[in-house]
Amino acid sequence: MNSISNTQRTITIGYGPGYANSDVWNDLKSKLIIPTEIVSITAAQRYNPALILLDHHLLRGMDYAQWLEEFPDAIFLCTDSMDLDVDLILTSNLPYKQTMKLLEMACYQWVVKSEKTDRARQQDTSFRYLNKLADISISLSAEDDLMKLLRKILTEGQNIACCDAASLFLINEINDHERELIFKLTQNDSMDLPFEEMKFPLNESSIAGYVAVTDTELNIPDAYALSPNVPYKFNQSFDKNSGYRTKSVFAIPLANKQKSVIGVLQFINRKKARSLKISDEKSALAYTLPFDSDINVLLQALASQAGIAIENTILQNDIKALFEGFVNASVAAIEQRDPTTSGHSFRVADLCVDLAKSVSMSNLTRLRNTRFTDSEIRELKYAALLHDFGKVGVRESVLVKEKKLTAGSLENIHYRILLAQERLKSQALGQQLAMYRNGGLDEARFADINEKLLADVQMLKEFYNSIVEVNEPSVLKQDNREMLDKINEYRLDSQDEQLAIITKQEFDLLTIPKGSLSPTERKEIESHVVHTQNFLNHIPWTKEFQNVPSIAAAHHEKLDGSGYPYGMKDSEIPLPSKIMTICDIYDALTASDRPYKPAMNTERAIDILVQESGRGLLDRDLVQVFIDAKVFHVIDSQEYSTATEFSSFSHHPCDFEPDEQGHEHEHSKH
């Protein structure tokens, strides 16, 4: 039986009672050949023999076709008198040596057959596992939420190993010389217990700590039977508190691309079937298996993928946090320059995000197929947060210009008026002195000079009072305009020169119809959009956020082409920019009282949005979604930084107020 022995496979030969008296069975008994009498199908099922010798007794219990169906991998033998289509025929008068030879051939035939089956099964299993690992790799690399990624890693590991529980530990760098182990996540098929993240010193005293420090695997058949010589111990506190029984454990290090250990995967209680529940020591001992080498190879492959995926996800999250910090710091810097509009950019961003999400759920005909992805919503959020960054490119003197005249101009005018008054007094006094020199005092003439002096001085005072009144950023009235024309024409002849009260530049500023900004200054305020775009163009945006500059640059464009800076029309304006325009206007109208304008209530602001959409300036459907979804409520419950005291006046680029006809214009003041 050498050919059988060389296979190193244990072969059970099941024979019916009719073969019980054969002389060959005693000679066949060995570690590899186990002859066993079977008297029924139940006995055959218990032993699952590789060779089955059928006799009349066994065939009475179940016909040959049923035997073949029940034991498809077995080799069948029977006597030639049964006239059955079986693998081998054992004749009743066959000599001993030939019987042995026939049995040996049958055993060898089974070995060849079973090896072929095993190879096919292994190939199929390997193929399935390779496909599974490929799917897992793709799945892990696509996940950017750390906790979802960790849960996915544990779940896939449990599926591969058919184990009851799994845990994941991550290493945290406290400083250059100190690290700790964080118990980050655990899953258990048999028990649903509350989990709380815990931290431990990173050393070799625990199983996970030992694996992390030494960068080695541990395959432990029984966690309660550790050798006293190993440096690590198994913490039984969880088992004691829950009634659970941890038996087999396989712990493997997680490494990053630089081969540095960043964590540990720990799989617990490999089971005979995933559906089995382990609730106590008895079930643990009955249902669990050690982790074998085949499974461990697959878990090693999973750990290799998981380590890199975790590192990438943490790095991506760090980059996102860094960028979010940069954006928030940038917005804070912008709003520090203009405390009167503090919180505006954050409110506009929240309104934009909510409106974009509402658009994705809208049933309006034109918007029914418009759906914003998470990346597109984040892109809009960043554009909204940074839409006013270009204010840093506007001159401070223009940004904080509270009155029509530039800083210091009113004082200069006041000085000229005082100077004119003094010169008028000097002229009057000179005329009166000349009367004395020329022969006498003419009291009537003297009185006329005094009366005219008082009238001229009073007129100059009225000039100044009118200038102070007109200097306010209110609507220029007709009578004020007539007074300005009079002031502009006034000249005082003195000492071979003419003294004017106001210069041409001051006259142009004082005749601004509304607000405090000249057309040139208004253009400079409007240039903040170009400054914003230029600034954002210098940021190396990733592909998913590459449209941030163009979205932010178009938030003052109008559908009819009347907006700025490029006069874009409906089809040229990006949809996210149209969303931002609506949200920007709404917040500019309803923001807390500013030094130069009171806040509007929600109803009035919505009426204005509807009016603007009716005039073809704003997207009518987006305004409808804004109203129907009550997007404006998203900022009601939020707390935003606000300036309770105004340290200085400042124009906001997004101011938006009604003109005399009730229409809305930007950059004006009440």
How many CA atoms are closer than 13 Å to the CA of 42, on its beta-carbon side?
Answer: 0
Closest CA to 596 of 670, 522, 518: 670
Could you give the number of structural domains in the chain?
4
Q: Please tell me which residue, 591 or 419, carries the higher pLDDT value.
A: 419
pLDDT exceeds 50 at position 8: no
Separation in Å, CA 325 to CA 194, 387, 550: 33, 16, 22
- Are 462 and 383 within one domain? no
- Are 416 and 463 within one domain? yes
- The predicted-structure confidence for 628-638, as pLDDT tens digits, reads as follows 999 999 998 77
130 part of a folded domain: no
- Are 366 and 230 within one domain? no
330 part of a folded domain: no
**Residue 219 has what pLDDT?**
95
**Residue 495 has what pLDDT?**
66
Sequence-ordered strand ranges (E) for 256-307? 261-271, 288-289
- The predicted-structure confidence for 512-562, as pLDDT tens digits, reads as follows 888 788 888 888 888 888 888 998 999 888 888 999 999 999 999 999 999
Query: Do you find a cis peptide bond into 473, omega within 30 degrees of 0?
Result: no
| Range of lowest pLDDT (34-43, 177-186, 398-407, 660-669) | 660-669
328 part of a folded domain: no
72 part of a folded domain: yes
| Range of lowest pLDDT (198-202, 226-230, 267-271, 341-345) | 341-345
140/311 Cα distance (integer angstroms) = 11
| Mean pLDDT over each residue of the chain, to the nearest integer | 83
211 part of a folded domain: yes
**Residue 97 has what pLDDT?**
65
**Residue 216 has what pLDDT?**
94
337/531 Cα distance (integer angstroms) = 16
Give me the domain span that covers residue 370. 338-397+523-666
- Are 633 and 549 within one domain? yes
- Are 147 and 284 within one domain? yes
- What are phi and psi for residue 443, nearest 5 degrees? -60, -40
- Are 283 and 356 within one domain? no
The pLDDT confidence band at residue 250, using thresholds 50, 70 and 90, is very high
Scored b (16 or more CB within 10 A) or e, 480-492 reads beebbeebbebeb
| Range of lowest pLDDT (123-127, 156-160, 402-406) | 123-127
511/110 Cα distance (integer angstroms) = 109
The pLDDT confidence band at residue 651, using thresholds 50, 70 and 90, is low
pLDDT exceeds 60 at position 122: no
**Residue 398 has what pLDDT?**
76
> Distance of alpha carbon 91 from its chain centroid, rounded?
78
- Are 574 and 605 within one domain? yes
| Range of lowest pLDDT (62-76, 552-566, 571-585) | 62-76
pLDDT exceeds 70 at position 125: no
Domain boundary among 495, 515, 535: 515
**Residue 646 has what pLDDT?**
43
**Residue 11 has what pLDDT?**
73
- Are 534 and 505 within one domain? no
358-384: average pLDDT:
91
**Kind of pairing between the strands at 33-37 and 11-15:** parallel
pLDDT exceeds 70 at position 337: no
321-325: average pLDDT:
86
For the entire predicted model, the pTM comes to 0.62
**Residue 46 has what pLDDT?**
84
**Kind of pairing between the strands at 33-37 and 51-53:** unpaired
**Residue 549 has what pLDDT?**
95
pLDDT exceeds 80 at position 223: yes
Domain boundary among 281, 316, 351: 316
511/497 Cα distance (integer angstroms) = 26
| Range of lowest pLDDT (128-137, 192-201, 248-257) | 128-137
Report the amino acid identity of residue 182. Answer: I
**Residue 454 has what pLDDT?**
94
CATH no. for residue 387?
A: 1.10.3210.10
Q: Please tell me which residue, 60 or 615, carries the higher pLDDT value.
A: 615
pLDDT exceeds 90 at position 455: yes
| Range of lowest pLDDT (181-195, 306-320, 404-418) | 306-320
